[in-house]
Structures are given as structure tokens and as C-alpha cells.
């Protein structure tokens, strides 16, 4: 059951795996933006996470510790952003862009000794017997643990944001930091925690690229995934389940264009390669044209710094 | 009827740099008493209640709550001791629903489902219908206030402070609010009610403490006094009926005919068939409860909202399709209500702000360049003429207090020598002396031949300055009538049957 040389079962299984980095990063950024902070440094935190995860995994031989290392590296970089924007009240857009450039540069420098090394493999979680089942096997049971973790995180964040007091406070801070402050909540401290969480998620997403997707260290390995993650957050109207849908949609487009290239499609390779980015732009335009103002679900204080004295 | 004493305030003094907000203020509130704190803007009412709510600490003096010393250092402590406050400007989250908003204001909220049930129960008990699952952004001002009141009531307060609660409400909403407050009072909750609306206080309050310039000048039982007597106590002099200049109607300077416009403001009121004329030397006062189209009318007159050319005419010239700059050139200047962001660019200096609207009429550009020396001179003139308290003309507009910035902005518009001046809320948040000064300059400008439109929610102000009087009601304007000889009853009727100020009085029975 191939269509033009593409097996849909393999396609779906691959897109689930290929969507993991942008899904994790976008989930983290969703929390950050729900708290009213716009961190455009996702790409930088991802690539630092990719390097950090790769180094830790190679040094310790444990891929799980590698992912942890990626999360720590991403969070550490995000704390620079947190310090600049929450303590020194620097402009969030400029700081976020600088964070990306900084992350790309540092990772390029730090990764020099790691070219051509194989990291310890991250294998499937479940026994082969399950994964060998027809159709459902590869789609549901053939993945490594990070794929399941990313889906679990979607559910957890959905529940936390919707139903818990912590989630309510995060949303309140993102909605009106002045009202939240008047009620006695520590706006900047809550935001700082959210930024660190977003950094950890982005770092882990980056680690998945270098440890499972590629898997090796290459300069600029994340190749714009952070920007797609940012777009997905808007596409998803800041809602976790829609982030999952968005990530799979974009993961699917990426996988599809690779498959089309392999299948020898008549469309030039360059067009296929630019497709995911082009579609990102298109989706953003359509999303913002169709709905105006409040209906988009954007947190009202998004991107605004808060200082208690005002 | 004597009541057990709940709160006693003795000799409270609070000074800010340059201003004594409260000086030796004493009063006491009994349990279940509705106590009015009455005074003009700047008389020290808000500072007083902020001290009771723990937002501001007094310099000296003592407070006792139910016999025990009471010195709250933060609002949470005041709330714990049974003091709750409903703010003039709400502290709500628009994108969250009612239950979530209530939960955020509680120290230990119950689970959402239980909380929603309690909100429903309390809202029904007090006749404040409110659906816990609705988004606050979709609610009217009155409903938003209910959210705040219910947030307070769920904490079972002994004293409820309300800071000018009716300024944003429609008369129907005022009626509902008063019913609730009376019920609370019957149940033993004391209410400290701040307002300068005398009729409201007469219908609602048991006792009143009147403040003037931070001092207690009188206490009285509002039901036994007339509004005029209380007003005289507030102002301190016997109210002199404003001297009417002999109305020599000049030619029409501003003509508006059948002006209709959809509101550009979310949840705003659209204008419906507005018609009026203002002659040279005439002041037209436009009254009405907030949210009945005042902001939209200002936008339509200033040129931010455009219409067909002949709908608005300035000295005979059709300007309906022109923008604000062209209208200024034609001789119409406008001062909107919102000072930080609409009337002024808050982060720019006073000099820059002076240029922004006066550049055209004062000729402050030369060959396309700004004449900064001239602009600075103009800004300094305003500062001197209107007694604006500022370190200099180069400070950011944001750094000035609301009242001082208002004086600067009023001066900026009034000193441009325009033939038509439109002002929304000229003395909002300005202290009594400055308010009198602003009103005097409005009269002076009219005396020099300008046509002035004053939109205000302060009836007394309108009666003092205006020659003719009209009411804006749900986007419609009544026919202007001469202010002279107009009685309060007639004004009530103009404000509309359903919207009458009478409602509040009848509800008492």
C-alpha cells in the first residue's frame, strides 16, 4: 500500500518522531507566553540543548542523562534571558533574538570536538513483538520513550493550565500583571520560573535532534526548528493540544517533503525544502487575518515587562 | 438607633511631600452602619480608606477594630481581619472567567466546582445575578463590579469599603447595588461609602463624615440634610449661584447635524443622530452616565472619527471629513478624557506634548523643522499660567500626577486661541482649587468669544460653567436647554425615564 513510493504507515510513524523537537519546544514556549513573556530565543535554547545533551550523553554513555543535560543547558541559557528581561527589564524581543544568536555561536564553538562521534542510541521503548504488529505497531508502539514523554507532557500541561491553581496564576500573570500584582502575586518570580521551564523544554527538544533524529553533532543542527516552534504556539492559540496538532502537521510536512525527494518527485528539491517554512508563514498570515484582537487567545500582557513601582 | 462600635479612627494624619492628605481625622463606624465619607476630589477620602485597607500607612493616629488596635501592614492582613474593599478601577482579568477571577483574590479558594456553586449561592442571595463561567471581558461595568463585590463577600467581611462605586454604573445598576448594600447593612456588615454624589448618599447612608482639604469639617445625618447643605459643607463656602453673563448669542461657531457613527471602541456606544449648535461665547454642557457615548462624541468632534463633510461645521466650514490636524487648523481643538495615552504621550516630555497638538495653531514649525525654542516657551507659558507643579518642562508627562497633567493639558488646549473648544471631563481627578481655576479659564475663554463644549459626569460642574445643557443617553443627545432656571427634577427627566436619577430614590421605599 504505497502511494507514489510513500508508505503512509511509515510516514505517520516518522512524523511522530520528527515532530518531537518542535513539540517539546512549543509546549515550553506556550507556558512562557501564557505567563506573558515572549521569548524569541527558542532556537538558541534548542541548539544549546542539542549540544549539551550530546556532550553529556557521549561523556556518560547514557542517553537519558543526555536528555537531562540538554534540559539543564536550555534552562541555563533561558535564565540569562530571564535575568535580562525580568530583573533589568530589557526589551523581550531584542533579548530573545540576541539569545538565539548567542546560542548558535556558543554551540558552534563548544561542539568543535564532537564532529563525527556517534552518541549512545536511544532505542524503542516497547518490545519488538508489539512494534511488529501490522499498521498500529509502528504508529503506536514502535517509538522511543521521548515520543511518549512529549505526548504525556501535552496532556499534563493541558491539565495544569486548565484545572490547577498554578495554571490559573500563570494565566492571570500573563493576562494582567498589574491586577495580579494588586492581588499580591509575585509577577516576576512566576515569570522567571516559567522562562526556566520553557528553556528546559526547548533544550530537551534540541537534545532529541542530536541524540535521536540525526544522531550526531553538526553545526546549526536544529536548522530553524525553534522558529517553527514559535509559529506553532501562535497557530495553536496557546493551547497544548493544538500545539500537538500543529507540531504533527509541521512534522508531517517535513517528513513528506523528505519522502517526496527520495521518491524522485518532479518538483525541484529546493521547493520541497522550503515548503515547511513557507507553510508556516502562510498559516500565520491566515490565522491572524481571520481573527482579530482578543479572539486569537493571545495573553493580554504578552511581551510587556512589569515593574512593581508603576 | 445605637449600634456597637466596629471601627474607630482617631487623629489620623498622613502627609505626602508637599501635601497633607489627612490631618487629624477622627470618626467611628458602628456595626451594620452605612457611613459616607464625603468630600471633593483631593479632600483626602481615598487616602483615608487606603490606610484602613492597609495600602498606605498613616504617619500618626490610631485605629481600633472591635476594640482591638488595628494597624494593617498589607491588604491581606486587612482582609484577614474582615475588611474588604471594592476599588474604583477594578482589578480583574478580562480573559479569565468569573470563578477564576474570584479564586485569584482568595487566600485559600475551594475547588472550582464548589466555588462556582458558592458564587451562585451568594449572587442569588444578594440579588446580584452572575454566571461563574462567563468571561469577565464580556461583562458590563456593573457586572464586573459584582465580581469584585462577590469576591469580597465570600470572605465574609465585617467592613466593606466602596470607593466611588457608582461612577461607572448605569442608574439601573446603581439601584441593584443599593439594594445589595442595604441588605448587607441589615445583616450587620458595615459599609464605608465614598462618593461625592450627594443624592446617592442621602438615599443610602446613615451617617456622613465630611472632609475638606484633609480635615473633618462636619458630621451629619444625610437624610436630615438637603444636598445643598451638604455641598456647602463640602466646599466650605455658601454656594454662590454662578453668575450668568448676559447671553449675547454670537453667530454659530460649531454646528453638528444628524451625526451618527458606529463606535470604534469595543463594547462602545454608537452615536445616533446627534444635533446641536454652539454659538460664539456659549458653553454647552453635556451630561450623562459614563459609557453613554461620551468618548465617541469626543472622537467624532475631534476628527478621530470621521463623517460626511457637512455633519460637523466649524464657523461655517464643513469639517466632518477632516482629521484632527485639519480641524485644529480650522479652529477646533479637543481634549479627551484619558490623560495617559490619549490626551498625552506619557513617555514624552511636556515640551514635546505641547507641540503635538499646538504645533499647527501656534505655528511651531519652520520649513518642516520643529521650532523647539518656541515650543518650550509655549510649554513654560502653560506651566506658569495653570500653576502646573513640575520640576520643569522637560520631564515626561507620565511623571506628573494626574491632576497636574490635567492642568497642563487643559492649558495646552485653552491657550491655543481656538474658536471651538471641546473638553471631556475637564476636572476629573483634579483638586478643588485647580478645578475652580480650570472652570474659570473655560468661562474666560468663552468670554473672549470661543464656543466651548464641556462633556462631564459632574452635574454641579456643568451647572456652574454652562449656558446651555444637554444629556447624552445611549448615544442620543437631548435638545439643549438654557441652564438658567433648570431644576434638578428637570435634569432628572432629561436623563430619561428609564435612566432617571429618580430610580435610586424610589428604590428606597
Mind listing the pLDDT tens digit for each residue in A101-160?
999 999 999 998 888 888 888 878 877 777 778 778 888 888 899 999 999 999 999 999
Can you give the pLDDT at residue A207?
95
* Predicted local distance difference test score (pLDDT) of residue B496: 59
Q: Does A118 touch chain B (CB under 8 A)?
A: no
Max Cα separation, chain A?
A: 66
Task: Give me chain A's average pLDDT, please.
Answer: 88
Which of B179-193, B341-355, B396-410 is the least confident region?
B396-410
CB pair distance less than 8 Å for B95 and A300: yes
Mean pLDDT confidence for A194-221 = 94
List Cβ neighbours of B438 (8 Å cut-off, separation of 6 or more): B386, B406, B407, B410, B426, B427, B430
| C-alpha torsion sign, points B171, B175, B177, B178 | positive
Give tens-digit pLDDT for A144-186.
Answer: 999 999 999 999 999 999 989 999 999 999 988 888 887 778 8
Kindly indicate the confidence band of residue B502, based on its pLDDT and cuts at 50, 70 and 90: very low
> Cβ A179–B103 below 8 Å, yes or no?
no
Q: Is A41 on the interface with B (CB under 8 A)?
A: no
Q: Are B228 and B241 a contacting pair, CB within 8 Å?
A: no
Contact A182 B91 (CB under 8 A): yes
DSSP annotation of B239 reads: P
CA-wise closest residue to B126 among B146, B110, B144: B146
- B75–A contact, CB cutoff 8 A: yes
Calculate the average pLDDT of chain B. 83
Q: Does A168 touch chain B (CB under 8 A)?
A: yes
Across B165-169, B293-297, B437-441, B450-454, least confident range: B165-169
Fold of A8-296: ABC transporter involved in vitamin B12 uptake, BtuC (1.10.3470)
**Could you tell me which residues are beta bridge partners of residue B312?**
B256
Overall average pLDDT of the B43-53 stretch: 84
Q: Quick one: which of A69, A75, A44 has its CA closest to A224?
A: A44
E-strand spans in B96-232? 159-163, 190-195, 207-212, 215-220
Domains of chain B, first to last: 5-235 (3.40.50.300), 252-508 (3.40.50.300)
Q: Which chain B residues have a beta carbon less than 8 Å from that of A175?
A: 93-96
Specify the pLDDT at position B39: 79
Put simply, whether B94 touches A (Cβ < 8 Å) is yes
Minimum mean pLDDT among A2-6, B203-207, B255-259: which range?
Answer: A2-6
Interface size between A and B, measured as CB pairs under 8 A: 45
Tell me the residue length of chain B: 509
- Render B77-127 in DSSP notation, one character per residue: HHHHTTEEEE-SS----TTSBHHHHHHHTSSSPPPHHHHHHHHHHHHHHTT
C-alpha dihedral, B386 to B387 to B390 to B394, nearest 10°: 40
Q: Is the per-residue pLDDT at B236 higher than 90?
A: no
Confidence of residue A59 (pLDDT cuts 50, 70, 90): very high
The answer to whether B357 and B332 have CB atoms below 8 angstroms apart is no
* Residues paired with residue B22 on neighbouring β-strands, in sequence order: B14
Question: Would you state the pLDDT for residue A290?
Answer: 60
- B129 Rama sector, left if φ>0, alpha if ψ -120 to 50, beta otherwise: beta
How many C-beta atoms lie closer than 10 Å to residue B360's C-beta?
A: 19
A99 touches A92 (CB < 8 A): no
Sheet holding B207-212, edge to edge: B83-86, B159-163, B190-195, B34-38, B207-212, B215-220
The answer, yes or no, to whether residue B475 has pLDDT greater than 60, is yes
Who among B95, B104, B137 is closest to A183 (CB)? B104
Which uninterrupted H or E stretch holds B60? strand B60-65
Instruction: Give the model's pLDDT for residue B168.
Output: 66
Q: Which of B19, B63, B140 is nearest to B433 (CA)?
A: B19
- What pLDDT does B110 receive? 85
Q: Rounded distance, CA B226 to CA B104, Å?
A: 42
User: How high is the pLDDT of residue B506?
Assistant: 39
Residues A7-44 pLDDT 10s: 888 888 889 999 999 999 999 999 999 999 999 999 99
In contact, B300 and B261? CB cutoff 8 Å: yes
Note the pTM of the prediction, 2 decimals: 0.71
Pair A213, A50: CB distance under 8 Å: no
Q: Which residue has the higher pLDDT, B172 or B320?
A: B320
Residue B501 has pLDDT above 50, yes or no: no
Task: State the nearest Cα–Cα gap between B478 and chain A, in angstroms.
Answer: 34
Q: Does A292 touch chain B (CB under 8 A)?
A: no
Q: Minimum mean pLDDT among A15-29, A178-192, B326-340, B478-492: which range?
A: B478-492
Cell of A25: 519546544
Which ipTM value was assigned to this complex?
0.79
Average pLDDT over residues B170-182: 81
Alpha helices in B252-371, H assignment, sequence order: 294-302, 324-330, 350-358
Strand B283-287, strand B468-473: pairing: parallel
A207 Cβ neighbours under 8 A, 6+ residues apart: A49, A50, A52, A53, A54, A57, A66, A67, A69, A70, A71
Distance (Å, rounded) from C-alpha B244 to C-alpha B388?
29
Q: What residue segments make up the domains of chain A, in order of their start? A: 8-296
* Nearest to B505, CA basis, from B224, B230, B174, B187: B174
Mind telling me how many Å the CA of B238 is from chain A's nearest CA?
A: 40
Nearest CA in chain B to A299: B95
Amino acid at each position: 500500500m504505497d502511494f507514489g513510493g510513500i508508505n503512509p504507515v511509515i510516514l505517520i510513524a516518522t512524523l511522530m518522531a520528527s515532530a518531537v523537537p518542535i513539540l517539546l519546544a512549543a509546549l515550553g514556549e506556550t507556558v512562557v507566553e501564557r505567563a506573558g513573556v515572549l521569548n524569541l530565543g527558542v532556537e538558541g535554547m534548542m541548539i544549546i540543548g542539542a549540544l549539551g545533551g550530546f556532550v553529556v550523553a557521549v561523556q556518560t554513555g547514557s542517553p537519558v542523562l543526555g536528555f537531562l543535560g540538554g534540559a539543564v543547558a536550555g534552562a541555563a541559557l533561558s535564565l540569562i534571558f530571564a535575568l535580562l528581561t525580568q530583573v533589568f527589564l530589557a526589551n523581550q524581543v531584542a533579548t530573545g533574538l540576541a539569545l538565539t544568536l548567542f546560542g548558535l555561536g556558543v554551540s558552534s564553538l563548544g561542539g568543535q570536538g564532537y564532529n563525527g562521534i556517534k552518541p549512545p542510541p536511544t532505542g524503542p521503548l516497547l518490545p519488538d513483538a508489539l512494534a511488529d504488529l501490522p499498521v498500529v505497531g509502528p504508529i503506536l508502539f514502535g517509538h522511543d520513550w521521548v515520543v511518549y514523554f512529549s505526548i504525556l507532557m501535552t496532556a499534563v500541561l493541558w491539565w495544569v493550565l486548565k484545572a490547577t491553581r498554578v495554571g490559573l496564576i500563570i494565566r492571570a500573570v500573563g493576562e494582567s500583571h498589574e491586577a495580579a500584582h494588586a492581588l499580591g502575586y509575585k509577577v516576576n518570580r512566576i515569570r522567571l520560573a516559567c522562562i526556566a521551564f520553557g528553556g528546559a523544554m526547548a533544550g530537551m527538544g534540541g537534545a532529541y535532534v542530536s541524540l535521536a533524529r540525526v544522531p550526531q553533532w553538526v553545526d546549526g543542527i536544529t536548522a530553524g526548528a525553534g522558529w517553527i516552534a514559535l509559529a506553532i504556539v501562535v497557530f495553536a492559540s496557546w493551547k497544548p493540544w493544538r500545539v500537538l496538532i500543529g507540531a504533527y502537521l509541521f512534522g508531517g510536512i517535513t517528513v513528506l517533503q523528505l519522502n517526496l525527494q527520495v521518491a524522485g518527485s518532479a518538483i525541484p528539491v529546493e521547493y520541497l525544502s522550503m515548503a515547511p517554512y513557507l507553510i508556516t508563514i502562510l498559516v500565520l498570515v491566515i490565522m491572524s487575518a481571520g481573527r482579530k484582537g482578543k479572539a486569537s487567545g493571545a495573553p493580554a500582557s504578552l511581551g510587556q515587562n512589569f515593574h512593581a513601582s508603576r | 438607633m445605637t449600634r456597637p462600635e466596629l471601627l474607630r479612627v482617631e487623629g489620623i494624619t498622613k502627609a505626602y511631600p508637599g501635601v497633607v492628605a489627612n490631618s487629624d481625622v477622627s470618626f467611628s463606624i458602628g456595626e451594620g452602619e452605612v457611613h459616607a465619607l464625603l468630600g471633593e476630589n483631593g479632600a483626602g477620602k481615598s487616602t483615608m480608606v487606603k490606610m484602613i485597607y492597609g495600602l498606605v500607612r498613616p504617619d500618626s493616629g490610631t485605629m481600633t477594630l472591635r476594640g482591638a488596635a488595628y494597624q494593617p501592614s498589607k491588604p491581606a492582613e486587612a482582609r484577614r481581619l474582615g475588611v474588604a474593599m471594592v476599588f474604583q478601577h477594578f482589578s480583574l482579568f478580562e480573559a479569565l472567567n468569573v470563578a477564576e477571577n474570584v479564586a485569584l483574590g482568595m487566600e485559600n479558594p475551594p475547588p472550582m466546582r464548589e466555588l462556582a456553586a458558592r458564587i451562585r449561592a451568594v449572587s442569588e442571595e444578594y440579588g446580584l445575578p452572575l454566571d461563574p463561567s462567563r468571561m469577565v471581558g464580556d461583562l458590563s461595568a456593573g457586572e464586573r463590579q459584582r465580581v469584585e463585590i462577590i469576591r469580597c463577600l465570600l470572605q465574609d467581611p465585617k467592613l466593606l469599603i466602596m470607593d466611588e462605586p457608582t461612577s461607572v454604573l448605569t442608574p439601573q445598576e446603581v439601584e441593584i447595588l443599593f439594594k445589595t448594600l442595604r441588605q448587607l447593612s441589615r445583616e450587620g456588615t458595615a459599609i464605608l461609602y465614598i462618593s461625592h454624589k450627594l443624592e446617592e448618599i442621602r438615599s443610602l447612608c446613615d451617617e456622613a463624615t465630611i472632609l475638606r482639604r484633609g480635615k473633618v469639617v462636619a458630621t451629619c445625618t444625610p437624610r436630615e440634610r438637603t444636598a445643598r447643605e451638604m455641598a456647602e459643607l463640602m466646599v466650605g463656602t455658601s454656594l454662590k449661584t454662578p453668575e450668568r453673563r448676559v447671553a449675547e448669542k454670537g453667530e454659530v461657531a460649531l454646528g453638528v447635524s444628524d451625526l451618527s457613527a458606529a463606535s470604534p471602541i469595543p463594547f462602545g456606544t454608537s452615536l445616533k443622530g446627534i444635533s446641536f449648535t454652539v454659538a460664539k461665547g456659549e458653553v454647552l454642557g453635556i451630561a450623562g452616565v459614563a459609557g453613554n457615548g461620551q468618548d465617541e462624541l469626543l472622537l467624532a468632534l475631534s476628527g478621530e472619527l470621521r463623517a460626511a463633510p457637512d455633519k460637523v461645521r466649524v464657523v461655517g466650514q464643513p469639517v466632518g471629513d477632516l482629521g484632527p490636524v485639519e480641524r485644529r487648523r480650522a479652529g477646533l481643538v479637543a481634549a479627551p478624557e484619558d490623560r495617559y495615552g490619549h490626551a498625552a504621550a506619557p513617555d514624552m516630555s511636556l515640551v514635546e506634548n505641547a507641540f503635538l497638538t499646538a504645533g499647527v495653531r501656534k505655528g511651531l514649525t519652520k520649513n518642516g523643522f520643529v521650532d523647539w525654542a518656541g515650543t518650550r516657551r509655549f510649554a513654560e507659558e502653560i506651566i506658569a499660567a495653570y500653576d502646573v507643579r513640575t520640576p520643569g518642562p522637560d520631564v515626561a508627562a507620565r511623571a506628573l500626577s494626574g491632576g497636574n497633567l490635567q492642568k497642563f493639558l487643559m492649558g495646552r488646549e485653552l491657550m491655543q486661541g481656538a474658536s471651538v473648544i471641546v473638553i471631556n471631563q475637564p476636572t476629573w481627578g483634579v483638586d478643588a482649587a485647580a478645578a475652580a481655576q480650570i472652570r474659570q479659564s473655560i468661562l474666560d475663554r468663552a468670554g473672549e468669544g470661543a464656543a466651548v463644549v464641556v462633556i462631564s459626569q459632574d452635574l454641579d460642574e456643568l451647572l456652574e460653567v454652562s449656558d446651555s445643557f444637554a444629556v447624552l443617553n445611549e448615544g442620543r443627545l437631548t435638545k439643549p436647554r438654557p441652564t438658567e432656571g433648570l431644576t434638578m427634577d428637570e435634569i432628572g427627566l432629561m436623563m430619561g425615564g428609564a435612566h432617571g436619577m429618580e430610580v435610586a430614590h424610589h428604590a428606597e421605599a
